[in-house]
């Protein structure tokens, strides 16, 4: 792979390759954009098949963070880090402190956080070496578990879709089918139940299903039943790639609005298929921005209540995205991408003159 070609094609600013043989660290930090602020994005630990795979992943993920922060209205850019290693054996203090020192060397241009296969404890080690880390434990000033804030934002995104489709955001008597009753799915079920919704769930974990059924009641669906469920909203909150050529033709619900990352197996073709089927789709990175809003509030030292208020604004953002898609005749994902790009360009233009010190 030609690194300079890859950099210019997706518009990345900087890639840092980090190697510390004394602790077995091989990591790549990608800074996609700092036009809006420091590049924030989690650190993923994964046993990639090759160096090219690791690089492609970090380039793709860091670009996604730029769009997510931009459309959420945050003063943050997009970045991401990957550590190439075995998640079962690579959680040593020395490895994460070494990674933290590389993060420190970027002077705040990149801010890290936990991500797939990294933990609050790992981030506590990073924090010993640099303050440019979020998501370390609450007792050392971190913001703790982001999933209630993510679920709160998703809840308001669902309300926005209901308003567009039915003319009212009211959840009373509406049925929402949640795929994945995990951290986010559980809190989402709680908010929906409190608002008067009827619930359906699908999960591969009997334990997780038992918990939501016991606390909130509802109906359990198997994976096949889930996609054709007779409900108002499908809320995928489990894994990526679930909206694809196999599932989309079976969907009867008029709305898809859930927190899972990368729901569209193919952004172009599956996004267009949903549009053609008349299904209102809330782009995942717009509706699930509560987690990022939560770490943003940690960085700025604002309260959990402020993070919840900001996450509730996802209502307005989701409506703006859907309205833009309708008026421009494009998919909702294309519309949110455009909104993000327009904001980045507008804010970058502000910096064209010097304002003194």
Site for ligand NAD, rule CB under 6 A: 146-147, 150, 179-185, 202-205, 208, 223, 237-239, 259-261, 288, 291
| Burial zone of 324 (CB within 10 Å; 0-12 exposed, 13-18 middle, 19+ buried) | middle
Q: Which CB atom, from 129 or from 203, has the smaller least distance to ligand NAD?
A: 203
Pairing of the two strands 14-20 and 25-33: antiparallel
Rg, C-alpha atoms of the chain: 20
Q: Quote the CA–CA distance of 211 and 186 in Å, as a whole number.
A: 8
Between 203 and 270, whose beta carbon lies closer to ligand NAD?
203
Beta strand ranges found along the chain (DSSP E): 14-20, 25-33, 39-40, 43-46, 77-84, 110-111, 175-179, 198-202, 219-220, 233-236, 255-256, 280-281
> What DSSP character marks residue 17?
E
Handedness of CA 319, 324, 327, 332 (dihedral sign): negative
Closest to ligand NAD by CB, 24 or 241: 241
Nearer residue to ligand NAD within complex by CB, 117 or 130: 117
The answer to whether 122 and 95 have CB atoms below 8 angstroms apart is no
Q: Catalytic amino acids? A: 80
Closest CA to 288 of 253, 240, 334: 240
Using the minimum distance from each CB to ligand NAD, give the nearer residue, 95 or 160.
160
Query: Minimum distance from CB of 357 to ligand NAD (Å)?
Result: 38
Distance CA 225, CA 86 (A): 36
Nearer to ligand NAD, 1 or 210 (CB): 210
Q: How far is the CB of 289 from ligand NAD (least distance, A)?
A: 8
CA atoms within 13 A on the CB side of 54: 23
CB of 108 to ligand NAD, least distance (A): 23
Strands 280-281, 198-202: pairing is unpaired
Is 204:267 a contact under the CB 8 Å cutoff?
A: no
Q: How far is the CB of 142 from ligand NAD (least distance, A)?
A: 14
Residue 157 pairs in a beta bridge with none
* Nearest-approach distance from CB 21 to ligand NAD, in angstroms: 32
| Rounded least distance, CB 28 to ligand NAD, Å | 20
327 CA to centre of own chain: 26
């Amino acid at each position: 792979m030609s690194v300079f070609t890859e950099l210019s094609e997706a518009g990345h600013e900087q890639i840092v390759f980090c190697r510390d043989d004394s602790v077995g660290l091989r990591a790549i930090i990608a800074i996609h954009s700092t036009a809006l602020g420091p590049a924030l994005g989690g650190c993923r630990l994964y046993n990639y098949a090759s160096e090219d795979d690791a690089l492609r992943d970090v380039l793709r993920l860091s670009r996604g963070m730029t769009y997510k922060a931009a459309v959420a209205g945050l003063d943050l850019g997009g970045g991401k880090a990957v550590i190439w290693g075995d998640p079962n054996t690579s959680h040593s203090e020395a490895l994460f402190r070494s990674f933290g020192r590389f993060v420190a060397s970027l002077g705040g241009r990149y801010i890290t956080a936990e991500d797939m296969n990294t933990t609050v404890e790992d981030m506590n080690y990073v924090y010993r070496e640099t303050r440019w880390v979020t998501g370390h434990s609450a007792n050392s000033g971190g913001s703790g578990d982001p999933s209630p804030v993510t679920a709160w934002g998703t809840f308001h995104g669902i309300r926005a879709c209901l308003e567009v489709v039915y003319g009212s955001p009211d959840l009373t008597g509406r049925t929402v089918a949640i795929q994945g009753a995990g951290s986010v799915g559980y809190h989402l079920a709680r908010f929906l139940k409190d608002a008067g919704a009827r619930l359906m769930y699908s999960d591969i974990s009997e334990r997780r299903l038992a918990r939501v059924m016991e606390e909130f009641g509802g109906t359990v669906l198997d994976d096949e039943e889930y996609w054709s469920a007779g409900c108002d909203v499908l809320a995928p909150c489990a894994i990526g790639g679930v909206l694809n050529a196999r599932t989309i033709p079976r969907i009867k619900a008029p709305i898809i609005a859930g927190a899972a990352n990368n729901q569209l197996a193919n952004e172009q073709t599956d996004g267009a298929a949903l549009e053609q089927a008349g299904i209102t789709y809330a782009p995942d990175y717009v509706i699930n921005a509560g987690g990022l809003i939560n770490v943003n509030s940690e960085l700025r030292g604002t309260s959990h209540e402020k993070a919840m208020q900001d996450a509730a604004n996802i209502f307005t953002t989701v409506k703006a995205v859907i309205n833009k898609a309708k008026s421009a005749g494009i998919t909702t994902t294309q519309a949110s991408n455009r909104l993000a790009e327009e904001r980045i360009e507008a804010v970058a233009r502000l910096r064209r003159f010097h304002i003194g010190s």
